[in-house]
Amino acid sequence: MSENKKPEKIVGVKGMNDILPAEAPLWELLENTTESVLKSYGYLKIVTPILEETGLFARAIGAVTDIVEKEMYSFTDSMNGDLLTLRPEGTAGTVRAVLEHNLAYDGPKRLWYKGPMFRHERPQRGRYRQFFQFGVEAIGFTGPDIDCELIMLCRRLWDDLGLQNIRLELNSIGDAAERLRHRADLIAYFEANSGTLDAEATRRLHTNPLRILDTKNPAMQDLVNNAPKLLDYLDGESQAHFDGVKRILDHNNVPYTVNPRLVRGIDYYNRTVFEFITDELGAQGTVCAGGRYDPLIEMFGGKPTPAVGFAMGMERLVELMKSGGESAAPSQCDVYMVHQGEAAQMQAFVLAERIRDAGLDVVLHCAAASGAGSFKTQMKKADASGAAFAVILGDDEIANHVAAVKAMRAGAEGQQQATVPFDDVVDYLVEQIVGGHDHDHDHVHYHH
């Protein structure tokens, strides 16, 4: 073995991010806030596997969509030849589980999920190959009321997160028959203007012409703006549903813009579609997208069951929280244990466990490569930990059966230090930190 040859550096998979401890508290804040909003609307959590059979997504999402055509991580299980896919979105798996366990047959269900999704896209700001979504699926509800509930739930979440400047775009893409009539006219329109279509649009012309409306190509904007609008093809029922959505939103002062070009890239959607968009994140400004997917459950072999849902991109929301100045700096613990000498170390272990028994978070100083560390080094670590108190044990303290308890974040009175008998340390800390309240330790260590 050559001694001076360093092993090659291993790096993560392109487009897949690490969330480091410095950023984790922001994620935690997003997750906690979202979960409490979901709870306040009565939504229940569902967890499904990250792997599903490839056929599930091909069937649910549609063969001629971006996702199924080119974005899925699919592979053959070398153990048994199964064709599997890392989930690109959460709806297919959730609906699969709902059907498999007969969840929706005893009445409608309000469900939510969160977790990583995988799409083989070109990595760029706001677009990754592994990304996290929170999603909601309301299954078994027919009316415009639930569509509005989802939209208002999102609005509450943006408020609770302190996010401004997120606007709502709304559209109805009607039902299959309406889309078919519109599609024929749309294809005829694009054919009559084929000179203006780019390569991608030409390719999509006969497979997924609706998606051409989504184009970001500046040269095609006039063309798509003047294209036949699906909204003009809605029949009585779809129109009434859309009117109902707008009526409830208006009544609740929810601002929105009807964008007749808003379509979803996935086949299973019908009627209401919506997106929450911000201009603060550049090109990848959609933070949440959703809509109704009444046909999906029947497509899966279930009884016809209407449904509506949305998914939001957590990376983009975290970016927004950051740009809004949110910086929840983590504090690691309530108490940092500083000790010098073997007897002090033994006592520090015992005290640390007792303080944790009382519900406080404790970091016990442990030896690093550089050694156990002087008092001074240890106090620096205590300071950096963000702890409210350092508990200090040395030979003198051990001899006198006391600990020095130092307030690390003392106010104007200056840094206070108290000498506290071993047996009183826990009570002293609880009194100082929790102030005698019943302590179920829900306090979060964010210091700004």
| Structure token pair of residue 368 | 């690093």
- Strand-pairing partners, residue 52, are 85
Shortest distance in whole angstroms from residue 290 CB to ligand ATP: 8
Does position 289 bind ligand ATP by CB under 6 A?
A: yes
Does position 315 bind ligand ATP by CB under 6 A?
A: yes
Does position 265 bind ligand ATP by CB under 6 A?
A: yes
Taking CB atoms, the residue at the shortest distance from ligand ATP is 313
Q: For the chain, how far is it from start to end, CA to CA, in angstroms?
A: 50
The structure tokens 């308890």 sit at 405
86 vs 311 by CB, closer to ligand ATP: 311
CA nearest neighbour of 90 among 296, 321, 275: 296
The structure tokens 């957590």 sit at 314
108 vs 126 by CB, closer to ligand ATP: 126
Shortest distance in whole angstroms from residue 86 CB to ligand ATP: 13
With CB under 6 A as the contact rule, the residue among 25, 228, 313, 386 that binds ligand ATP is 313
Shortest distance in whole angstroms from residue 61 CB to ligand ATP: 9
Does position 260 bind ligand ATP by CB under 6 A?
A: no
CA nearest neighbour of 173 among 108, 245, 110, 90: 245
Interacting residues with ligand ATP between 132 and 161 (CB under 6 A): 133
Separation between Cα atoms, residue 30 and residue 441, nearest integer Å = 20
Interacting residues with ligand ATP between 293 and 312 (CB under 6 A): 311-312
Rounded to the nearest 10°, the torsion over CA 200, 269, 71, 60 is: -130
The answer to whether 341 and 395 are in contact (CB under 8 A) is yes
Segment contacting ligand ATP by CB under 6 A, of 52-60, 231-239, 285-293, 328-336: 285-293
DSSP string, 246-276: HHHHHHTT---EE-TT---SSTT-EEEEEEE
Does position 273 bind ligand ATP by CB under 6 A?
A: no
286 vs 377 by CB, closer to ligand ATP: 286
Whole-angstrom Cα Rg for the chain: 28
35 vs 121 by CB, closer to ligand ATP: 121
Give the interface size with ligand ATP as a residue count (CB under 6 A).
18
103-132 footprint of ligand ATP as x/- string (CB under 6 A) = ----------------x-x----xxx--x-
CA nearest neighbour of 446 among 362, 329, 321: 329
Does position 316 bind ligand ATP by CB under 6 A?
A: yes
Does position 287 bind ligand ATP by CB under 6 A?
A: yes
The answer to whether 378 and 404 are in contact (CB under 8 A) is no
Does position 89 bind ligand ATP by CB under 6 A?
A: yes
> Which H/E stretch holds residue 310?
strand 307-313
Contacts with ligand ATP, residue ranges (CB under 6 A): 89, 119, 121, 126-128, 131, 133, 265, 286-289, 311-313, 315-316
